Structure 1
Amino acid sequence: MGVVLIIDSATYDAIVAHARRDHPDEACGVVAGPVGSDRPERFIPMLNAAMSPTFYEFDSGDLLKLYREMDERDEEPVVIYHSHTATEAYPSRTDINLAQEPGAHYVLVSTRDGADSPSYDGPVEFRSYRIIDGAVTEEEVKVVAAYGNLGDN
């Protein structure tokens, strides 16, 4: 497993837009990709069933449907993302306990301090982690224009 999440700018923008749109509740979703590719390709925003500013939960029926669909398409969850509405983009104890996909990149976006506004022009806190057996390792995020241009930033 790498220590870098390579993500295309359209998917990056879609995750940030979803986090802003669902604020003040936490947003959540998955970006699926071909099994074994480590390439997040299909953006799948999910409903936060908890509808909470401090907690996210995937609807169990929606999640089951998603996993069946990914199996049919030979995909896996490459990125599992959610937002923090009032704190930094770092996994909470609950986030760590819920992390069940050791191969996934866990992305957090913070919409605190006005970052939820579409007119906000400051940097967005967008961070990625590997969470394996309770151990959290931050990894670099590299945003590329397209996957064929991995040298681009």
Structure 2
Amino acid sequence: MLRIDRATYDAIVAHARADHPDEACGVVAGPEGSDRPERHIPMLNAARSPTFYEFDSGDLLKLYREMDDRDEVPVVIYHSHTATEARPSRTDISYASEPEAHYVLVSTREHGAQTGLAGDDVEFRSFRIVDGEVTEEDVEVVGS
């Protein structure tokens, strides 16, 4: 189960809406070994595409060095789908390389970049992806 605080959940949803019609992507880091998503890091989709996301390699290297210095790991790796449901594509599955991470997908297909809606108006789902095997997990949003 992914337990995520309301502020982080809302920040991920806001990022997905802001980048629509392109896919948004980012990471939520947390203390190593804790499985607690604590620090939201929105990233730039280097592909700038409505159907694909790609972390900029320089930004990703910088992020991993920073997380290493802070004894953090990527607890959540997220991106949005702009025209399809929040379910990992074959490409998403093939690129999943963090077996301990929660892979979150947010679908903006229904409301796009609309603001003023509650974060719960989007499809927000979490998956574990290990060796190509996808398992959906519950998401519990807790107070900030």
TM-score range, shorter chain: over 0.9
- The amino acid that maps onto 1:119 is G
Unaligned runs of 5+ in 2: none
Aligned residue number for residue 91 of structure 2: 94
Question: How far is 1:29 from its partner?
Answer: 0.1
Q: Which amino acid aligns with 1:123?
A: D
CA separation in 1, counterparts of 2:15 and 2:123? 14
The equivalent residue for 2:132 is 134
Indicate if the aligned counterparts of 1:49 and 1:57 stay in contact, CA closer than 8 A.
yes
- The whole-number CA distance in structure 2 between the counterparts of 1:6 and 1:136 is 18
Q: Distance between the aligned counterparts of 2:142 and 2:110, measured in 1? A: 27
Question: 1:11-44: CA deviations, max 9, x gaps?
Answer: 0000000000000000000000000000000000
The aligned residue for residue 150 of structure 1 is none
Q: Describe the SS at the equivalent of 2:60.
A: helix
Give the deviation of 1:47 after TM superposition.
Answer: 0.1
Q: Which portions of structure 1, spanning 4 or more consecutive aligned residues, are displaced by more than 4 angstroms?
A: none
Question: Percent sequence identity over matched residues?
Answer: 78
Counterparts of 1:9-48 in structure 2, within 5 Å, are: 9-48=6-45
Distance 1:99 1:54 in 2: 17
Q: CA deviation at 1:102?
A: 0.1
Please state whether the residue corresponding to 1:119 is helix, strand or coil: coil
Number of matched residues? 143
Counterpart of 1:143 in structure 2 is 141
Residue 114 of structure 1 and its aligned partner are, at CA, apart by: 1.9
Q: 5 Å matches for 1:76-115?
A: 76-115=73-112
What is the alpha-carbon distance in structure 2 between the residues aligned to residue 45 and residue 87 of structure 1? 21
Q: How far apart are 1:115 and its partner, in Å?
A: 4.3
Structure 1 residue 51 corresponds to structure 2 residue 48: yes
* Ranges in structure 1 where 5+ consecutive residues have no aligned partner: 147-153
